[in-house]
Amino acid sequence: MATEHEFDVVIVGAGGAGMRAALESSQRAKTAVITKLYPTRSHTGAAQGGMAAALANVEDDNAEWHTFDTIKGGDYLVDQDAAEILCNEAIDAVLDLEKMGLPFNRTPEGRVDQRRFGGHTRNHGEAAVRRACYAADRTGHMILQTLYQQCIKQEVEFFNEFYVLDLILDGDPQAAGEDGEVAAAGVVAYSLQTGEVHTFRAKSVIFATGGAGKVFKTTSNAHTLTGDGMGIALRAGIPLEDMEFFQFHPTGLAGLGILLSEAARGEGGILRNSEGERFMERYAPTIKDLAPRDMVARAMANEVREGRGCGPHKDYVLLDLTHLEPSHIDEKLPDITEFARTYLGVEPYTEPVPVYPTAHYAMGGIPTNVQGEVLRDNTHVVKGLYAAGECACVSVHGANRLGTNSLLDINVFGRRAGIAAAEYAVATAETPALPADASAQIEGLVASLRETVGGEGTERVAQIRKELQETMDRNVQVFRTAESLAEAHAVVKDLQERYKAIAIHDRGTRFNTDLLEAIELGFLLELSEVVIAGAEARKESRGGHYREDFPTRDDENFMQHTMAYKRADGTVDLDWKPVVVTKYQPMERKY
Amino acid sequence: MTAPADAPVTTDAIPTMTVTLKILRFDPDGLDGREPGTEYWEEFQIEAHATDRVLDALHMIKWEQDGTLAFRRSCAHGVCGSDAMRINARNRLACKTLLKDLNPAKPIMVEPIKGLPVEKDLIVDMEPFFASYREIMPFLMTSGPTPERERLQSPEDRERYDDTTKCILCAACTTSCPVFWTDGQYFGPQAIVGAHRFIFDSRDEGEWDRLEILNDKAGVWKCRTAFNCTEACPRGIEVTKAISEVKHALNTGEI
């Protein structure tokens, strides 16, 4: 295979956002999807519970109620114009998937069925509403499969197991200033199969690379979710927005972090402490176990901290499904109950399941406008560069994402980015030229890592990664303080130094996953620093970011987004960006 | 802040044990004096918990002993389909197989799935497998104008093809099939499962196009009902039943 390629649009990542973008883009312009994994391995497939849309198929509902819930759920850090688009376009997003063949569960009348989910309410908080469209507890699996099937139908061109490592820009995003112009020119990728470095010239580039959950130890995220796209953007001089906001999903299998869908509570499951108490009644009297994830996760951690945890170490709480009919569980929650049986040996028909919060979702990411165009500062875009899905920050999730809004996000903003990128490419006459040495940096990186084999390096990738994840779990999880963050910051800086002295084992060219993991760790170390820096600067508590030393929300000083820039000398600088408010003024967040 | 009392720790009390893994290696590069393309068995010992997954054991080897060991993995809980491999002569997902379910007193034999070209160690070339999947046109086919709202489908009609929607394209079924191993033409069970998912979907109108493809000499009649595929499926899909339903449709002309 030649190692130099040219396309109108290059999409990086083949999860839900990437493939939804590809379906639009490939109809309009010559498109390639470059993906580290086979498309069907992407972590969209692990999403379980549903996709929100005010279809009103089973009870009264509308997009405005959904918008309000999204903004309140995000603790008023949501950009409200983006939330309006998300919720208004949700209905067509679900219907589009149905028309593509997605096998949603059905009502007796044959319509798409809907169920309850955390934070989704009727008429601004009156009661839980059935808004989540779903396919058993494998909604993400069905979305990923359906989008992949449509990509096969449209003969979308994939470069599978190509690991994009660099973004080539025409212009310097941090030097361009008010009047300068910066544009995408292409990407550089490493072929896992051959070990060759490839260049892709393109008029438009879309990043849809997913999350970065592997900065934490206890996580629902796949091993491969190492924040590559966010890290590449950061290194290219593009800021990252709101990275201190990480969602800890309440119900991870205790000790393992494997996700048990919020649908378990949507279908009637109850959280209990060691006294058998339904403790969420104390924290969220109206919607109880269906409060937003940040509140439930904090409540669980608090129960454990105050000595009401379960098990020999009193370090988890219980998810009780035993009052549900086994046939109902089999019909609505087959996969997650199977996880409990397989991995914990617990039978959910008769025994409550041990659960504890697990790092789940990055609310922050590469800043974009509502067309998916990437911002290089608070107002200017990088021409021809787009981002969508978890790697992006529009921001529709603000400080805390509602369950079922991420499967929605990838469809709405994946589609928008795909259309915008293709239209920009069609309107652009010339494909930008790549500099002659476009791939030199990555070839150098790969060669230098290979040369560490058998060399003097004393550090091991797995050891550094383990220490990173442990310090992030210990210090940057549900509860944070100035001290815990300072400790994490110091550890990460130290690990970044030690990373320079790593040695890998594999000098081979084909499927060198040893080398891959070393590169991934580099991204994790840089992103962790950004998460911590944002968390240190945000001296308030909002959504998923809870500072014990600043336990209340401070709208006067902090109702704004962080924008983290990596400077040429390696330091991380923070700036602030105003929240877009349309008609929802911040109010106290009670459920 | 090194070890607060409230940190979740659940494996403390469980004793570890020594587990031996024998892994079939394949070295495409020819490193350490080997010829490129050398295949060889290598034995590793690790300290693990009975509740650890085979994937955890492979990670311990890769991360602590030999970084050159290559295998695919991603989600680590049985939904992405990356890590199908032959474990003690049976196709399974490494992330869904616990050591305690394998008799860890004996060496655990780990090989790549069979019938696809090996690329490196436990990594095989999946392209022929995905080519067969593409062959059966795995996408909804309809005619007429697109409706404004959703197409209606009764819960009963939805249930009809529920089992085959669970497929994660891991290839455990296809690469457990003795016909697939010996017959280079056979689509294999997954392609039939993939076709079944649409043939029995009441919204789909491409069923006879797909059935014609499966009626081909590379198709469904190659199946000798060995049931290996059903046993291998990590998602519990009744693969052999799905194949027999496709055969029945071809025999009777009824869906």
B89-105 pLDDT tens trace: 999 999 999 999 998 88
Q: B113 pLDDT exceeds 50?
A: yes
Whether pLDDT at B73 is above 60:
yes
Residue B75 is assigned to a structural domain of this protein: yes
Which chain B residues are within 8 Å of A512, Cβ to Cβ?
A: 70
Would you call B74 and A223 a contact, using CB atoms and an 8 Å cutoff?
yes
Are B109 and B159 part of one and the same domain? no
**Three-state SS for B196?**
helix
Domain contains B3 = no
CA neighbor of B155 nearest in space, from A94, A325, A138, A107: A107
Counted domains in chain B: 2
Q: Is A484 near chain B, with CB under 8 Å?
A: yes
Q: Please name the member of B71, B73, B146 whose beta carbon is closest to the beta carbon of A99.
A: B146
Q: What are the tens digits of pLDDT across the range A475-512?
A: 999 999 999 999 999 999 999 999 999 999 999 999 99
How far A177 CA sits from the closest chain B CA (Å)?
Answer: 41
CA dist A274 and A337 (Å) reads: 21
Taking the C-alpha atoms of A53, A56, A62 and A63 in order, what is their torsion angle to the nearest 10 degrees? 20
| pLDDT of residue B2 exceeding 50 | no
- pTM confidence score: 0.97
pLDDT one-digit tens code per residue, A539-589: 999 999 999 999 999 999 999 999 999 999 999 999 999 999 999 999 999
| Dist CA A202 CA B189 (whole Å) | 39
Looking at the structure, do residues B168 and B88 belong to the same domain, yes or no?
no
Question: For residue B104, what pLDDT is reported?
Answer: 83
Q: Contact A153/B139, CB-based, under 8 Å?
A: yes
Name the minimum distance, in Å, from the CA of B180 to any CA of chain A: 22
Give the whole-angstrom CA distance, residue A208 versus residue A206.
Answer: 6
Q: Say if the Cβ atoms of B10 and A311 lie within 8 Å.
A: yes
pLDDT in tens, A66-88: 999 999 999 999 999 999 999 99
The C-alpha torsion from A281 through A283 and A288 to A291, rounded to 10°, is -170
The alpha carbon torsion through A140, A134, B171, B76 (nearest 10 deg) reads: 50
Within 282-321 of A, beta carbons closer than 8 Å to B belong to 301, 304-305, 311-313, 315-316
User: Given pLDDT bands bounded at 50, 70 and 90, which one contains residue B3?
Assistant: very low
pLDDT for res A466: 98
Distance CA A293, CA A397 (A): 12
Mean pLDDT of chain A: 97
Q: According to the model, what pLDDT value does residue B6 have?
A: 47
The minimum CA-CA distance between B247 and chain A, rounded to whole Å, is 24
Whether residue A476 lies within 8 A of chain B, CB to CB, comes out as no
Q: Is B1 inside any structural domain?
A: no
Nearest C-alpha in B relative to A113? B155
| Residue B186 and residue B104 share a domain | no
CATH code: domain of residue B22? 3.10.20.30
For residue A224, give how far its alpha carbon lies from the nearest alpha carbon of chain B (Å): 6
Q: Is B216 a domain residue?
A: yes
Question: ∠ CA A177-A178-A182 to the nearest 5 degrees?
Answer: 60
Q: How far apart are CA A458 and CA A543, in angstroms?
A: 41
Query: Residues A472-482: pLDDT tens digits?
Result: 999 999 999 99
Half-sphere exposure of B177 toward its Cβ, with a 13 Å CA cutoff?
A: 30
Instruction: Give yes or no for a contact between A207 and A12, defined as CB atoms under 8 angstroms apart.
Output: yes
Q: Identify whether residues B135 and B230 lie together within a single domain.
A: yes
Residue A109 touches partner B, C-beta closer than 8 Å: yes
**Could you tell me if residue B147 is inside a domain?**
no
Helix axis angle for A405-427 and A80-88, nearest 10°, is: 100
* Same domain assignment for residues B86 and B175: no
B177 and B86 fall within a common domain: no
Is the confidence at residue B13, as pLDDT, over 90?
no
B110/B131 same-domain check: no
B204 CB-near residues (< 8 Å, 6+ apart):
A101, B140, B141, B142, B198
Chain B partners within 8 Å of A106 (Cβ): 152-155, 158
Task: Identify whether residues B119 and B133 lie together within a single domain.
Answer: no
Distance of CA B117 to the CA centre of its chain: 15
Q: Is residue B49 in some structural domain?
A: yes
Range of the domain at B86: 11-124
A326 C-beta neighbours (distance < 10 Å), count: 14
Give the per-residue pLDDT at B7.
45
ipTM value for the complex: 0.96
Q: Are residues B76 and B131 in the same domain?
A: no
CA distances from A214 to A60, A275, B122 (A): 40, 33, 24
| Adjacency order of strands within the sheet including A572-578 | A240-241, A560-566, A572-578
What per-residue confidence (pLDDT) applies to B14? 73
Percent over 90 (pLDDT), chain B: 88
Q: What tens digit of pLDDT does each residue of B22-58 get?
A: 999 999 999 999 999 999 999 999 999 999 999 999 9
Residue B92 lies in a domain: yes
Chain A partners of B80 at a C-beta cutoff of 8 Å?
Answer: 37, 40-43, 45-46, 222
B210 in the same domain as B119 = no
What integer pLDDT is reported at residue B12 of this predicted model?
Answer: 52
Does B226 share its domain with B189?
A: yes
Q: Nearest by CB to B153, which of A106, A484, A504?
A: A106
Is A108 near chain B, with CB under 8 Å?
yes
Chain A contact for B26 (CB, 8 A cutoff): no
Give the per-residue SS3 of A373-400: EEECCCCCEEEEEEECHHHEECCCCCCC
Banded model confidence at residue B4, pLDDT cuts 50, 70, 90: very low
How far is the C-alpha of A197 from the C-alpha of A192, rounded, in Å?
9
As a whole number, mean pLDDT of residues A114-130 equals: 96
Question: Is residue A169 predicted with pLDDT exceeding 80?
Answer: yes
Q: Quick one: pLDDT at residue A247?
A: 98
Q: Which residues are CB-contacts of A462 (< 8 A; sequence separation ≥ 6)? A: A517, B62, B63, B64
Same domain, B33 and B76: yes
The answer on pLDDT for B133 being more than 70 is yes
Note whether B90 contacts A: Cβ–Cβ < 8 A. no
CATH of residue B202's domain is 1.10.1060.10
Note whether A514 contacts B68, CB cutoff 8 Å.
yes
Decide if B203 is inside a domain: yes
Which candidate, B118, B112, B88, B77, places its Cα nearest to that of B21?
B88
